[in-house]
Structure 1
Amino acid sequence: MSYNTFIVVFLLIILNKVSSRLVLKSSNTFEEVKVGLDTVSGSVVAYGDFNSDKFTDVFILDSSLQKLSVYLWQTNSTSFEQLDTAVIDVSDEELYIVNVIPNDFNYDGKLDVLIMATKEKTDKPNNELIMRLYLGNQESFDKLIEVPSSMNIQPTLIDFYGNMHPNLLGYPYSKDNLFKLHIWKFNDTKAEIQEVSLKDEEKGKELCKISLPHSNAFIDLDGDCLSDLFVTCEDGTFEIWKNTIDKGFVFSKSGNLPENTGPISFADMDGDGTIDMIFYEWKKTRGVWSKKKEWNLHIVYNKQIPLCSKTVETKCRSVHDLCTADNNYNLDFDLEGDGHIKIPIKEPIEYDNIYGKAYIPIPIRIGDINMDGYPDIILSVNDITKPIEIYESIPCSKKFGCNENATNANRRTLVYSDHSKVLNRRQNIRSAAFMDIEENGTADILLFGEQDADKRIYTVINNLHNDAFFMKTLTLNGACSSVCSPKNEKYSPFGVNYIGSTFKFTVIDLIGQKRANQVAQLSQSNYNALQTPYCLFGLGRTNSYIEELFVGVSRRNPKYYNIYSGMIPNSQLIIIPYQQENEDPSSWQLKQFINPSEYVPYVFISLVCTIIILTIITLLLQFLEKREDELEKKRALHIINFDAF
């Protein structure tokens, strides 16, 4: 093959790559595409990397609520394909699946699946919630383990003992309607329950009775990078139990929630390095006989010690020690203060109709659509023509309903986004969720709706053009190192859906200001939370590396977090906290996968074209110079001959 032929073939390959990406990247908005889910009857109920290929797969529950299937992402065809060897069918038992939790329950580095099911679609708390555990082998399910049933208040997935093994916290089923707190523990052969007493003797506090439904979370709220336990209570309050190295969970704070509060979600809404609360609530409008409801979205900011800077030098958090706990943290519910934002909204769709009278709530789903470093949300509202609304994060100001205190404190609020229009082109859409479908660092969207009495899934790709950067992180559960090798078997442990990891990082914007952010990995697993097993967060516009990245896990070890420096934006990090007893995090492993920008092929083509043009110009100039030299030689020879004559 000649050199010219090689160049032509190489350019054709590049153009083919570009054209293949243009199928999914063609406009500066959201765009619906087909990735193999549009003909599936059902709804996505969970995410996970089932075959451990570093691509996120989806778990789809059919419209009957009795058949759960795994659909693997295929990079070659850019579509999802069903894995026929991994299907869970409970139709013979006449059960209805109401929640699905993929996790590595037997701690072998492979993704397992726990289902929660009922014999009837009901929200009665004293009904039996039947659970089954299916142990996975990355291709199918090896074994079915019977799990002790629960009361119809879904148990919360946490790491109760601080050993990075998943547990369930809740109430075992009792015909006598006894709500006694227990822990579910799992291994290769069985699941067992153990009664526990979550008490704080010093403060005279015992864990409240969990509400139905609840918004329990395993998430760091005091800033020490160790996930705490957040519980919503039956009496309309909430409790926070701080996770400690030596004493386990100890009571920290409690508070009253607004009346008629909906599901609660968590995120660092203002980019100050602390996890905030976001929820909606309703109240009746003024008037004795009025039956109308007024709906509001609430952001309750977590007030902690600020990041140290030139203007703040005392009582602050150093950028080199972001995992310092602030025992005086405060979730500020005062609407007159600087830590509570209220935003009027349309009436939300409270419950997912796929579950019927089980009344599974639709939570506020959080993602960063423009990668500016400030989370946005998707909300499902009771509007037949426009049921899905995106709210984008913007700086607080009086124009957008913030008070002066919140504006001066640099808080953020949420406003309706015009990008919502693209999501409402189809009829009968009920809810939506975020997912990075192509693993390219964008917050894409899955839409869930109905068509001819069947549940349908529609895929919307995020084509928003912006010059912001992102980072994608995934913490594993430490079951083994980068390669598991038990019994002469070798496999990768990338699909374990580890819960409770915390990330804190600092980034410098274009004006040189440093800010801290915090994100949490899989903090909620109940009531169709649909959180991704990874963390995808925007860095905004920056011309620098991530200077400090703190990664915390739930292991109760004096050194439960690690620090990484100089992380490259637009990359995926896989942190493997493989840590033997009494070892420090220096034994952890970090894998970084660089994700090139979508503009790289265009830049490469421009570079090749520039080189070709410069080569042509150089050859042309060289030709002209040679011709000029020959003319000069002829003129000189002519003069010599003339003198001789």
Structure 2
Amino acid sequence: MIAVQSRNPDEFLLLPFEPALLVTDETDGCLQTASHYTPRKLSLPHTAAQIDFDGDCLSDFFITVTDITSGKTYFEIYLRREKEQSMGSDEEVSLNDTNGQFKGLNSLCLVTRQEVPVQANNIFSFADIDRDAMVDMMFVNKKDLKLHVYYNKLQNQQVLMQQKGSTTQSQTTAFGLKKLCSATNRPVNKVKDIFSPFTPIIEERNVVSQPISLDQNVAEVYADEFIPGRIYLGDITSDGFPDLLITLKYIDGTSRSHVLINEPCSTSESSVCTVKAQKAKRRQFNVDTNAYQSALDAFDKTKYATFFDLNENSMMDLLVVRTAEVSGRQSAIVSSIYNNYGRDAFFLKTRMVSDGALGTTVNSASFRCVLTSLEDEKFMVMGGQSGQTAYQALQMPFSQIGIGRSNNFIESFTVSAYVNGSRSLRMWTPIIPKSVLFVVTQGSDEVETWKLDVLIKPSEKMIMIILVDAVFLLILGLVIIVLHLLEKSEDRREKQINVIF
């Protein structure tokens, strides 16, 4: 583990992971103790992620390791601990009531350790699948070619406030959204139960399993010697629910990528969701052919594909890497598929950087937004920045947050980062939808010095809007002139009548 000292960023410290970064005090409830270091190494392949699992707006740590003694592979979740909280807004945010002694190092608490099924190939992906502002986990079983989505069992502040039932849903939601981030340093026994166990699946409401394709000719998820088969997540429809991109290999040797659209669980008898999952408003991925598939089918030797905003219009495009014969030998070719489908949904593109000139991305920053739906109900969406990097994770350097359809401004935008052992929060309000946000820290630990740069792209229908406004003003002006002339004519008639009498 390499650490950077804040007092001198040019100095690097090479530190052992366990004794340097882990909380080893048994009184804190962490699974790892000072007297019990399990000899382990990174699994091959492995998954590493810095994502907020417990809703406190601090990036936690997920990693897959192999036990050297038993040879078994486990995933481990370490929750971030902090010493204190700094704020840059007068808004009410949940405070840290504990008196922890953590600062910088010794800041990760091991709360979950679970054996990984061999069929998962140690590759996991993370996203907020059901838009409840909590990160969910998923993987593809390479044996039965099923996608398994494990929903986060920890409830965010918004859901907890709704369940009290003391007032109307809109009132409780509005009150709950004042506390965008859960309290930090909560007791481990309240946050350790994040995902359901792999076997047996007891809680059907928190797990949804479905096939990734209905084509009988699919052999496996495409993988080669250097790139394990994995899925990529991105909101290509900008509706606030991440969609899925996967590359499949067929029995005839060809390989093609497929986009699976995120949609509500079907209530039909053939639904992949259980009744409990349907009641919990879980989601599924539609494996039927969609509008993007005709473009992807043009490439039959695809190695992998991923999402990226190529022309900076804040719509997710597709990058496809394929093999083709060039000058008599097989070479890798990169192709682009532009997303030109018109959408009436809004988005928010965010990025946290350390310096306005250099544009260095701040990894594992957390973003949260409060929105109002067309039904006049408030809800919260979240996003993270560069949470995964290992084994072709290929995540974008910015966070693309789909908002969906809304007729209001974004009520609040909150950014959080882990600075010198503490959670630092800054809130801005209101924010215009369909904008690009740059949070510039200026290399400072003081959140009051952070600034927000907002980039707004003029609407493509601006000319039409101007023409309509001009015609409306012209008609309104003509009406005013006609009424004025009629009034003057009436005045003259009244004067003539008065003169006669």
| More deviation, 440-449/202-211 | 202-211
- Structure 2 counterparts to residues 176-575 of structure 1, below 5 A: 187=10, 193-198=14-19, 199=22, 200-202=24-26, 203=31, 204=33, 206=37, 208-234=40-66, 235-245=72-82, 246=102, 247-262=106-121, 263-283=123-143, 294-306=144-156, 307=158, 308-312=160-164, 318-324=176-182, 325=184, 327=188, 328-329=190-191, 330-333=194-197, 334=201, 336-346=203-213, 347-352=219-224, 357=225, 359-383=226-250, 387-399=256-268, 400-416=271-287, 417-419=289-291, 420-452=293-325, 453-477=330-354, 480=355, 482=356, 492-494=357-359, 496-575=360-439
The answer on whether the counterparts of 1:227 and 1:243 sit within 8 Å (CA) in structure 2 is: yes
Per the normalisation by structure 1, the TM-score is 0.59
Q: Please give the alpha-carbon distance, in whole angstroms, between the structure 2 residues aligned to 1:604 and 1:523.
A: 42
The 1:389/1:256 distance shift into structure 2, 3 A limit, reads: same
Alignment partner of 1:592 is 2:454: yes
Question: CA offsets, 1:396-430, max 9 Å, x none?
Answer: 23433100111111111111251222221233222
Q: Which amino acid aligns with 1:460?
A: I
Equivalenced residue count is 422
The 1:192/1:544 distance shift into structure 2, 3 A limit, reads: same
Q: Please give the alpha-carbon distance, in whole angstroms, between the structure 1 residues aligned to 2:463 and 2:305.
A: 32
Question: Which residue is 1:179 aligned to?
Answer: none
Question: CA offsets, 1:141-185, max 9 Å, x none?
Answer: xxxxxxxxxxxxxxxxx88569599xxxxxxxxxxxxxxxxxxxx
The 1:611/1:580 distance shift into structure 2, 3 A limit, reads: closer
Q: Please give the alpha-carbon distance, in whole angstroms, between the structure 2 residues aligned to 1:256 and 1:162.
A: 35
The answer on whether the counterparts of 1:473 and 1:574 sit within 8 Å (CA) in structure 2 is: yes
Q: Please give the alpha-carbon distance, in whole angstroms, between the structure 1 residues aligned to 2:2 and 2:57.
A: 14
The answer on whether the counterparts of 2:243 and 2:260 sit within 8 Å (CA) in structure 1 is: yes
Gaps of 5+ in 2: 67-71, 83-101, 167-171, 214-218, 497-501
Quick check: which has more Rg, 1 or 2? 1
- Structure 2 counterparts to residues 90-169 of structure 1, below 5 A: 163=6
Question: Which residue is 2:91 aligned to?
Answer: none
Q: Which amino acid aligns with 1:421?
A: S
Question: CA offsets, 1:8-49, max 9 Å, x none?
Answer: xxxxxxxxxxxxxxxxxxxxxxxxxxxxxxxxxxxxxxxxxx
Question: CA offsets, 1:164-223, max 9 Å, x none?
Answer: 99xxxxxxxxxxxxxxxxxxxx838xx773434345352435474210111111111111
Per the normalisation by structure 2, the TM-score is 0.75
The 1:465/1:196 distance shift into structure 2, 3 A limit, reads: closer
The answer on whether the counterparts of 1:163 and 1:554 sit within 8 Å (CA) in structure 2 is: no
Q: Alpha-carbon deviation of 1:588?
A: 1.4
RMSD (Å), alpha carbons: 3.3
The 1:454/1:503 distance shift into structure 2, 3 A limit, reads: same
The 1:280/1:555 distance shift into structure 2, 3 A limit, reads: same
The 1:547/1:229 distance shift into structure 2, 3 A limit, reads: same
- Structure 2 counterparts to residues 64-83 of structure 1, below 5 A: none
Q: Alpha-carbon deviation of 1:578?
A: 3.5
The 1:278/1:598 distance shift into structure 2, 3 A limit, reads: farther
The answer on whether the counterparts of 2:233 and 2:242 sit within 8 Å (CA) in structure 1 is: yes
Gaps of 5+ in 1: 1-157, 166-185, 284-293, 483-491, 637-645
Q: Which amino acid aligns with 1:280?
A: V
Q: Which amino acid aligns with 2:387?
A: S
> Kindly, what percent of the aligned residue pairs are identical?
26
The answer on whether the counterparts of 2:238 and 2:401 sit within 8 Å (CA) in structure 1 is: yes
The 1:360/1:187 distance shift into structure 2, 3 A limit, reads: farther
Q: Please give the alpha-carbon distance, in whole angstroms, between the structure 2 residues aligned to 1:401 and 1:160.
A: 45
Q: Please give the alpha-carbon distance, in whole angstroms, between the structure 2 residues aligned to 1:162 and 1:504.
A: 28
